[in-house]
A = this chain, B = another copy of it.
Amino acid sequence: MRLEDIPTPALVLDLGILKRNLAHMQAAVARHRDVVLRPHMKTAKSRAVAELAAPGHGPITVSTLAEARYFAEGGWRDQIYGVGITPQKLDAVAALNADGAAVKVITDDAEVAAAIAAHPGPIEALVEVDVGEGRGGVPPEAALEVARALGDRLAGIFTHAGHSYGGRSDAEMTAIAEVERAGAVAAAEALREAGLKVRIVSLGSSPTALHAAHLDGITEVRAGVYMFGDLFQAQLGTHAEADIAMTVLASVIGRKPARGALLLDAGALALSKDRSTEKAPHDYGFGKLLDIDGLPAFDGALVTRVHQEHGEAAPMPMLAVGAKLRIAPNHTCLTAAAHECYHVVDGGREVIAIWERVNFW
């Protein structure tokens, strides 16, 4: 099967670019002695990708219980479920762990920590610390209260400098990475000074993982979007535009010469309505037009509008209805989530594999 033959819209994943992106991150983390890479599978949601990103069933991060189950059954036992846990979800985690997994949860809430401590099943937790993102987590100085409530279920400290996505230069990224590191280490030290055992000190985002000057005191780094890349990450300097491994294959379904536009069968569902690049230096609308080979053949052409199943691309030459194109996404995690599987190519148009995804919750 070749890309020309695939029903559209569909995801295309370029294996060569994926491997290059994985090697780049592995090398970036290998700069730091005794720091392990714990890839975040929220982007790929695929065992086939995990074989490459976390080979030998290495440690991973997950964002849903569906991922936790899917990867545990696939052999990836060492997981952190990186979204604040609720007491109601503990039974499901404990059941996985009773079957041989080691899914660790996170919390920033002393009441939840007490529920974890009291749970009869095997569950460990990390205390989520906020180093400036302003999403989940307690300030580093407040980690001790939550950690104490966990009792002997304490596994470590967890943080995520999501505000690195607001950084606009390598220097800013390096500065945010240092704040992330220092906050996590300060929280870990406070716990240790209180006599608690802190095994894991975990941080990460793709930008800070690549830009950290040093990671003293950190045991592991998490990152996910680096595997595929996207137009937003490219503008952060995380990678080049040519390093975007995942694109959407679409067909022309209409021609509008009066406005220099083509209608495509990839719209709001196939691309997502994410507009991450809206506030980036270059606004790519709902995606950048590439040719069927993934090359930037249409200067300045964007997906300018989307409806549920329609996308409008402009300015474009009037290709035939049925002609196939590819679209680089704003935010690869959200675009991928709209699709059932990847059509894997390796630089050409030949589809060498179809890789499933574990969607939903």
Q: Is the interface of A mostly helix, strand, loop or mixed?
A: loop
Residue A86 CB within 8 A of the other chain: yes
Q: Which of B42, B88, B322, B339 contacts A322 (CB 8 A)?
A: B88
| 19 CB-based A-B contacts, threshold 8 Å | A7-B65, A7-B88, A7-B89, A7-B92, A7-B361, A8-B361, A10-B361, A84-B263, A86-B252, A86-B253, A86-B265, A87-B321, A108-B254, A109-B321, A112-B321, A135-B312, A272-B273, A308-B334, A339-B360
List CB contacts (< 8 Å) of A336-357 with chain B.
Answer: 337-340
Query: Are A109 and B255 in contact, CB atoms less than 8 angstroms apart?
Result: yes
Chain B residue contacts of A112, Cβ below 8 A: 321-322
Q: How far is the CB of A39 from chain B (nearest CB, A)?
A: 15
Q: Map CB proximity to B onto A76-113 as digits: 1 under 8 Å, 0 otherwise.
A: 00000001111111001000000000000001110110
How far is it, in angstroms, between the C-alpha of A361 and the C-alpha of B253 when the chains are bound?
15
Judge whether B273 and A86 touch: CB under 8 Å: no
Copies in the complex: 2
A137, closest chain B residue (CB) = B254
Which chain A residues numbered 1 to 40 have a C-beta less than 8 Å away from chain B?
7-10
A64 is an interface residue with CB less than 8 A from chain B: yes
If A134-B259, A270-B361 are given as contacts, then 12 extra A-B residue pairs at C-beta distance below 8 Å, sorted by A number, are A7-B65, A7-B89, A7-B92, A63-B308, A86-B322, A111-B321, A112-B321, A112-B322, A135-B305, A135-B312, A136-B263, A268-B274
Chain A residues proximal to chain B, CB less than 8 Å: 7-10, 42, 63-65, 83-89, 92, 107-109, 111-112, 134-136, 162, 251-255, 259, 263, 265, 268-270, 272-275, 305, 307-310, 312, 320-322, 333-334, 337-340, 359-361
- Residues on B with beta carbons closer than 8 Å to the beta carbon of A255: 109
By a CB distance below 8 angstroms, the chain B residues around A265 are 83-84, 86
Contact A333 B308, beta carbon cutoff 8 Å: yes
Expressed in whole angstroms, the Cα–Cα distance for A274 and B269 within the complex equals 10
- Chain B nearest CB, measured from A226 CB (Å): 15
User: Using Cβ atoms and an 8 Å threshold, which residues of chain B touch A9?
Assistant: 361
Partner of A334, one of B86, B268, B275: B268
